[in-house]
Amino acid sequence: MQPIKSSEITSEQQYYSRRDFLKSLGIVSTSAMILAACRGQSTQTKVISTQVSAENLPGGTSTVESDPLTSFEAITNYNNYYEFSINKEAVARLAEDFPTSPWQVEVGGLVNKPKTFDIDDFKKFSIQERIYRLRCVEAWSMVIPWMGFPLAELLNAVEPTSNAKYVRFETIYDPDEMPGQRDPWYQWPYIEGLRLDEAMNDLTLMATGLYGKDLLPQSGAPIRLVVPWKYGFKSIKAIVKIDLVEEMPTSLWMAAAPSEYGFYANVNPEVSHPRWSQASERRIGESGRRKTLMFNGYGEEVAQMYSDMDLSVNF
C-alpha cells in the first residue's frame, strides 16, 4: 500500500487561491457551487461564518487569523478511528482500501417517513462549507473546513414523531474490513447519540467532504457526523443507521468507560477528565498550547440548550 500522493490532494495553497478566486466572484459556498455548475443545476448558497462566532468570548481568540485551517496532510494523517487502529498515524494507511461505495444510511425509529438513503440522495440537501474547530477529549484540536449539510434537513425529511427525544447513530459493522472491530475490548459497532434539540441545532453537520473534496476513509467516508461544541468522539464516522428514539442511547464510550465519558460531552475547560485537565489543548501544527473555550467557542449558538443543567456534573 502506498501513502497518499501529494498530487492527489488539494493543497492548502490551491484551496485558498480557489477560495480567493471564488470570493472575488462573490461566491462563498465553494464546492456546492462547483458541484452544481458541473451538473448544470442551481443551488442555494449560504454564507457560513461559524468559525468566527466569538467576539464576545473570553479572550476573543476566535478569528480566522488566529484560528488558521489545519493542513489537509495533518487532518488526513492524524486520526482517531478505533475500527482501524488506536495508533492515529496508522489509520490512513489501514483505511486506504475501505469500501465506501455503494453505501446506504437507514433512517428510522420514531418517524412518520422512514427512509433508506443512498449517498447520492444526500446531494439534494444544501451542501455547504463549515469551518469548525474539532476538540478531541484527549486535549488536541484542529480547524477543519468541512463540506456537508445540516442534520436538521435530514431529520425534517423523515418527520420525527412527538415521542422522539434522542437520535442514535451507528457506524458500519464490518470486521473483515475493519481490523479494530475484532478487538473484544469494545462493544462494536460504534454508537453515538444526541438529544433531539442538539441534533436539530444549525451547527450540527452531516459531513461528506473536507477541503472541497469527498471525505477519505480515515475521515469517516462516505458520511460522518460533526458536532463542533462537543468532544470529538461524539462526531461518529461511517454512519449506516440513524434512529429516532425515546430513551437516551448508550454510546460505545459510555459503555466502555462510564466514569470517563458521558452522554453530553460538551467541551468544558473547567471540568477535568478524571486523568487529565481539559483547560488547554494542543493545536495540531502549532507549538505551545491554547486555552480551551467553553463549548469549544460555540456558546452563543448552543449554551441556551443547557440553561437548566449543572454543567459541572453533566459530562
Ligand X SMILES: Nc1nc2c(c(=O)[nH]1)N[C@H]1C(S)=C(S)[C@@H](COP(=O)(O)O)O[C@H]1N2
Q: Which residues would be at the binding site for ligand X (CB under 6 A)? A: 79-83, 134, 136, 171, 190, 219-220, 232-233, 235-238
Q: How far is the CB of 211 from Mo ion (least distance, A)?
A: 20
Closer to Mo ion by Cβ: residue 232 or 297: 232
Cβ-based burial of 288 (10 A; exposed 0-12, middle 13-18, buried ≥19): exposed
Closer to ligand X by Cβ: residue 134 or 205: 134
Closer to Mo ion by Cβ: residue 91 or 164: 91
Question: Which member of 180, 209, 212, 232 binds Mo ion (CB under 5 A)?
Answer: 232
Q: Which helix (H) or strand (E) holds 93?
A: helix 91-95
Which position has the grid cell 482501524? 84
Q: How far is the CB of 279 from ligand X (least distance, A)?
A: 18
DSSP E strand boundaries for 151-276: 166-171, 191-195, 205-210, 213-214, 224-226, 239-245
Interface of this chain with Mo ion, residues 35 to 94, rule: CB under 5 A: 80
Interface of this chain with Mo ion, residues 233 to 252, rule: CB under 5 A: 233
Closer to Mo ion by Cβ: residue 105 or 136: 136
Closer to ligand X by Cβ: residue 36 or 186: 186
Tell me which of Mo ion, ligand X, none is bound by residue 238, counting a contact when its beta carbon lies within the kind-specific cut-off of 5 to 8 angstroms.
ligand X
Residues in contact with 15: Cβ distance below 8 Å, sequence separation at least 6, in sequence order: 69, 72, 145, 211, 212
Q: How far is the CB of 135 from ligand X (least distance, A)?
A: 8
First to last CA, the chain: 40
Distance, in Å, from the CA atom of 178 to the CA atom of 271, rounded to the nearest integer, reads 33
Residue nearest to Mo ion (CB): 136
Residue nearest to ligand X (CB): 232
Residue 278 CB: number of other CB atoms within 10 A? 19
Tell me which of Mo ion, ligand X, none is bound by residue 235, counting a contact when its beta carbon lies within the kind-specific cut-off of 5 to 8 angstroms.
ligand X
Closer to ligand X by Cβ: residue 29 or 170: 170
Closer to Mo ion by Cβ: residue 117 or 261: 261
- Contact between residue 146 and residue 130 where contact means Cβ atoms under 8 Å apart: yes
Q: How far is the CB of 94 from ligand X (least distance, A)?
A: 12
Looking at 36-44, 69-77, 230-238, 271-279, which segment touches Mo ion (CB under 5 A)?
A: 230-238
The DSSP-derived string for 196-210 is HHHHHSTT-EEEEEE
> Does the protein bind Mo ion through residue 111 (CB under 5 A)?
no
Q: Residue 231 — φ and ψ, nearest 5°?
A: -55, 150
> Does the protein bind Mo ion through residue 225 (CB under 5 A)?
no
Closer to ligand X by Cβ: residue 221 or 302: 221
Distance, in Å, from the CA atom of 17 to the CA atom of 315, rounded to the nearest integer, reads 41
Residue 183 CB: number of other CB atoms within 10 A? 14
Q: Which three cell numbers stand for residue 297?
A: 467557542
β-strand partners of 129: 147
> Does the protein bind Mo ion through residue 136 (CB under 5 A)?
yes
Looking at 153-161, 200-208, 228-236, 259-267, which segment touches Mo ion (CB under 5 A)?
A: 228-236
Instruction: Name the amino acid, one letter, at 42.
Output: S
Q: Which helix (H) or strand (E) holds 146?
A: strand 140-150
The site for Mo ion, by CB under 5 A, has a size of 4
- Contact between residue 284 and residue 262 where contact means Cβ atoms under 8 Å apart: no
> Does the protein bind Mo ion through residue 128 (CB under 5 A)?
no
Q: How far is the CB of 161 from ligand X (least distance, A)?
A: 27
Residues that bind Mo ion (CB under 5 A): 80, 136, 232-233
